[in-house]
Copies of this chain bind each other. A is one copy, B any other.
């Protein structure tokens, strides 16, 4: 089957980068750009923190990469504090999988990335999952990513024809402080990123949700000034 190749040949191979608009994925994009021509994708799933999509656009534009927002059906990834306004975002740490977990989110995201990779002729997908300073989501663990990659290599025409798709997770074993130092070295402007699970429309962070706490601790541990705009003072 002949696939259209809307992106013309480049000096570097093409990678598909999942760009949420947060700190981690902005860092991944900067890492990927060292060796790849990048096509960034974001998802609109009516997430509570929709401000992250504006952040993603800003990051993609300032990085000079192709970017698109893929629209998902509102009625699928439900029952999470990130998709249901009736469920409060916790402002203290919790045990186990938290209520901010979104059902099958990374599987749906990576499945779309797989389609985009196949259509555009890319063998590399980048995702900013992390299993150190993270919220305990099952679909951020290394064993999950390895299983997705194995499945993906059986799923597509590219795989049948001998192509080898790689799910690249350059952050998976890094601490938040290490991620931030890496990004600073690569020139990432973290003021553009939005990590907060309940950011307001202007992208200002609450400072107290799990994602804000991980981010704040990371800047502190890295000894780097935190450029996050908070809407109330962090406790």
Interface residues of A (CB under 8 A from B): 1-4, 68, 70-73, 75-80, 96-99, 101, 103-108, 110-112, 114-116, 118-119, 138-139, 141, 143-144, 147-148, 150-152, 154-157, 159-161
**Quick check: B119 and A114 within 8 Å, CB to CB?**
no
**Quick check: B154 and A144 within 8 Å, CB to CB?**
yes
Q: A77-B119, A147-B154 are in contact. List 15 more A-B contacts (CB 8 A).
A: A70-B75, A71-B73, A72-B72, A76-B115, A104-B114, A106-B155, A107-B111, A107-B151, A107-B152, A108-B108, A108-B111, A138-B154, A138-B156, A139-B154, A139-B155
**Quick check: A103 and B76 within 8 Å, CB to CB?**
no
**Quick check: B141 and A119 within 8 Å, CB to CB?**
no
Name A3's closest neighbour in chain B (CB-CB): B79
Name 18 A/B residue pairs within 8 A (Cβ), A-sorted. Answer: A1-B96, A1-B99, A3-B79, A71-B73, A76-B115, A78-B119, A104-B156, A105-B115, A107-B114, A107-B151, A110-B111, A111-B111, A138-B155, A144-B151, A144-B154, A147-B150, A147-B155, A150-B150
A143 to chain B: which residues have CB within 8 Å? 154
Q: In whole angstroms, what is the CA distance A2 to B84 when docked?
A: 13
Name A121's closest neighbour in chain B (CB-CB): B79
**Quick check: A118 and B147 within 8 Å, CB to CB?**
no
Q: In whole angstroms, what is the CA distance A150 to B143 when docked?
A: 10
A157 to chain B: which residues have CB within 8 Å? 97, 101, 103, 138
Q: Which of A3, A71, A154 is most buried by chain B, counting CB atoms within 10 A of its CB?
A: A154
If the complex has contacts A1-B98, A111-B104, are A116 and B76 also in contact, measured as CB distance less than 8 A? Answer: yes
A139 to chain B: which residues have CB within 8 Å? 154-156
